[in-house]
Every structure is written in C-alpha cells, then in structure tokens.
Structure 1
C-alpha cells in the first residue's frame, strides 16, 4: 500500500530548514503516523525529532502530554521546545535514549536512522523503550530518483563535479529497513512506500532554499565559487524542466514498522 499526501506550498513560511527539507518532512509526517498506526490513547517517543515536524502531528493526534521528543542537537531541541512548549523535549542520542524501558506504545524515527552513528543500536534502543505489543517505526527517503529533490540536487552536482563512484544513501533501498528492525528482535515487520508532493511557486524558491546552506546539498552549494555555483544553478534549472512558474517535485520515502514481542 502507498500512503500519499497532497501537494502543499510552503513558500515564504518557516525557518531555513522548513524552506528546504522541512516542507517535505511536514507533509510526510501524517502519512508516517498513519503507517505507524498512531492512535488516541497511546504514548509516543519521537526519536531524532529535529525541529518537530513529526512531533507536531503526534501532539495533535495524542495530545502534547503523551509525546516525548528526543534529539542530540541542542539547536533542534531548542527549536522543538519553542514550537511545542507542552511537549517533553529531551536532548539525547538515538543510541542511548534518555527514557525508561517499555514506557511507550510507539517509538518512531522519521528521516533520521540513516544519520545515526549506530543504526542497529538505535533500533534496539527504540525496541527497549516500547512495551510488548507496541510498534517501532522508521523511514528514510528512497535512494533513487523517486526522491525528486535529492535526485535533482545530486544530479546537478554530478554535472558540475562527476563523482568517482556512485552515491549510495544508507537504508535507501528496499528491504534494508525491514532487515534492521528484524535484527533488533521485532516481529511482524512490514514496509511500505510513503509518497508526498511539494509545490514550488517558481525555480527561485527552490534555488533560494539551497543558498541558505541547509543539509549536505546546501553546504555543497555554499562551498562553491561564483562560476561553479552558476554552472550548478544552470544544471539544476535544466533538471527541473525549465519551470516558468509553479512546478512540483514528488518524493517517496521507504518506511518499516515492527512489533515488540509479547
């Protein structure tokens, strides 16, 4: 089953993260919550919460008091606390979650498991935090052209600076996340693609979000000299189809969930 969210225009709203990747993660969060079967009455742990895209959805569904959010970045912790003052937001790593054993019905990690230093340990920690019968869920962006934004920015980089070897995104291929959760001792492991579509009101909206230096793509653009940056911009413009006005980029995430044994 594919869980899909409609197009949404985030132009001119939010902070720098929201203008770049945040517009995708905000759309993905409701579909991921649906996939993880987040329902009223549960207690949920949001692992690697960032500025709070999934936290917002969880708090709406369950109430802020039923959500604990954890992130290792003090900057993201501060941003999440500011946006969600009634949520318990804690600083901590996925490999050593600052929570009690079996204290949640759901533990989820949206778009973070590929960034942690020890994914198997992080998956085991999420299992530890969830009561028997509860669910652990993880998702990452697809590692192919099915993640439109990351595909066009990586192709633009390849046009400017051909890579010495193919880019491989951790857990970006089908089956990798299910293997991770099964390896952590979870059962009834299932996976599904989650699709979203983001609308831009013009090419300059996309380009300006890259110039803010957010994430690996933004950092790369910020590192370029003027001439190389212009060649990158031209390549990106070509890859997005020379948009004269509104255009969309679709993105597919790979998601997996597993149940803590009774």
Structure 2
C-alpha cells in the first residue's frame, strides 16, 4: 500500500478541525518548556495552519515570527508564513534565535536534513532548535484506537498506521537526531493533553474531511466499509453516560542549543 498517497494536506480549515484543537494545547506546554526570552526571532518549520506560530505570538512576546510550510493552502491559512521545503529553508544563516517544528518532522522524507537547516538558520552559538511529534505508537489515543480498529477490519490498514510508519517518534531516536545535528544540552520530554469529544459525531466527523493519513484512508473506503469502520470505532472508544469521549494525546518534545 502506498502510504504517502493517503498523506493529504490540502485544506487548512479541515486539518484544524481534525488535529489543530489538540496540537494547540501541546504547543502551549511546549513553548512554556522552552522558556525563551522576550524579543526573540522565531522560525516555525512546517507551520501548517499556524497553530504553533499563533501560540508563540500569544505567549512568548517574540520580536518576529515567521512560518514556512510546503502546503500553499496551509500557508494561506497561517499568518506571516511562506511556502518552503523544510530541507531548504529560504533564510540566511543566523536569521533566527529559535527554530521550532510541531508535528511535522516525521512527514519530512529526510528529517536530518530539516534539523540541519534549522541549526543553520539559528546560527552557531546560543540558538535553540526544538520540536515535537505525536507518540503514535502508544499514547496518541485517537489514532491508536482508530488504527487498531481499522486493522481488525482490514489488515492492510496496518501499513498506514503512523505508529508503524514513524518508529523515530520516540525519545531515543529524537535525542539521536538532535545530537547528530551537532546540538548540545539535548533534552526530551513527554507532553500529555486530554482530548475530549462532545460525542461520537464530534470524534468521527473530522475523519471525513480527508486531511492526514487516517482521514485519507477513510475517504478511500467504499461506503459500506466506511460504515463498518465507523460502527466498530464507536464500540472501541470509551463513551461516558453523557455521550462524551475522553482520550489522551502524548507528544514527545525535544530541544537543544547550538554552540
């Protein structure tokens, strides 16, 4: 199965309904952990719809925030962003004090190249490079329930499971990626946030929008198979008496500095 065929990133608004509401909570914890001084120049690599950039503006009092993403539609949704490849950033060396990337690096074909570019644009001394990715294999509850359920109905779906596709979304590989780029004082930590859905429709609806691997898979199913998956997932998730569904989402965050 061609995994990348399902990695659809074309609608910023649809993606925000699917994952943006949870990534915003992670971004708040992440920026607080970085603790950068006011007035810093920030670059958000793979900015998507601008969730992380907006949190930086709200909470960090930056001197400048620039985002970049390969998706032109996402860039139109984000604020102060440019279309660019993470492996070839269109900025001079030392243009920023902080380079960050949220929920993106696992989708970059050569993440080491992207981290090397982040190191380059923050300069050789005192710059901070940081990022975070979902813990797909274990505690990104929404996707873990989805792919486990999908694979029970369709074993071929296991090939699309981000937990299988992205084994580097774990503490040691992230630490090695950062140290391999020459960064020092590298730290990795978990960030966990609750993901609460008003009801099953609130959970299932974003899977119909076609943004990301799981919704891309749902969109490719025949109607009957899609209905079977919907009902199996309804049974698999923990539903409270009021109809709400509470899960947890864990991200692994990593940071290091240059020089």
TM over 0.5, shorter chain: yes
Name the CA distance, whole Å, in 1 between partners of 2:48 and 2:38.
Answer: 23
SS at match of 1:60: helix
Structure-2 residue corresponding to 1:104:
96
Name the CA distance, whole Å, in 1 between partners of 2:220 and 2:244.
Answer: 28
Size of the aligned set, in residue pairs, is 242
Moved more, 184-193 or 53-62: 53-62
- Aligned residue among 197, 202, 212 for 1:200: 197
Structure-1 residue corresponding to 2:257:
259
Q: Please give the per-residue CA displacement for 1:63-88, whole angstroms capped at 9, x wherever unaligned.
A: 4751111111111111103xxxxxx3
Matched, 1:220 2:217: yes
- Aligned residue among 143, 146, 152 for 1:153: 146
Confirm or deny: 8 A CA contact 1:55 1:67 kept in the other structure.
yes
Structure-2 residue corresponding to 1:240:
237
Confirm or deny: 8 A CA contact 1:38 1:61 kept in the other structure.
no
1:78-157 equivalences under 5 Å are 78-81=76-79, 88-131=80-123, 132-157=125-150
SS at match of 1:154: helix
Deviation at 1:247, TM superposition (A): 1.9
Matched, 1:32 2:25: no
Name the CA distance, whole Å, in 1 between partners of 2:167 and 2:42.
Answer: 25
SS at match of 2:106: coil
Deviation at 1:243, TM superposition (A): 4.8
For structure 1, list consecutive stretches of 5 or more residues without a partner in the other structure. Answer: 1-13, 82-87
Deviation at 1:91, TM superposition (A): 1.2
Could you say which structure has the higher strand fraction? Answer: 1
Name the CA distance, whole Å, in 1 between partners of 2:84 and 2:22.
Answer: 24
Name the CA distance, whole Å, in 2 between partners of 1:64 and 1:226.
Answer: 48
SS at match of 2:127: strand
SS at match of 2:229: helix
Name the CA distance, whole Å, in 2 between partners of 1:60 and 1:241.
Answer: 34
Confirm or deny: 8 A CA contact 2:153 2:229 kept in the other structure.
yes
Deviation at 1:197, TM superposition (A): 0.8
Confirm or deny: 8 A CA contact 1:143 1:168 kept in the other structure.
no
Deviation at 1:15, TM superposition (A): 3.0
Could you say which structure has the higher helix fraction? Answer: 2
Q: TM-score, normalised by structure 2?
A: 0.88
Confirm or deny: 8 A CA contact 2:99 2:130 kept in the other structure.
yes
Q: TM-score, normalised by structure 1?
A: 0.87
Confirm or deny: 8 A CA contact 1:99 1:129 kept in the other structure.
yes
Deviation at 1:144, TM superposition (A): 2.1
Confirm or deny: 8 A CA contact 1:43 1:62 kept in the other structure.
no
Deviation at 1:173, TM superposition (A): 2.1
Residue 65 to residue 40, structure 1, CA distance change in 2 (3 Å): closer
Name the CA distance, whole Å, in 2 between partners of 1:62 and 1:148.
Answer: 29
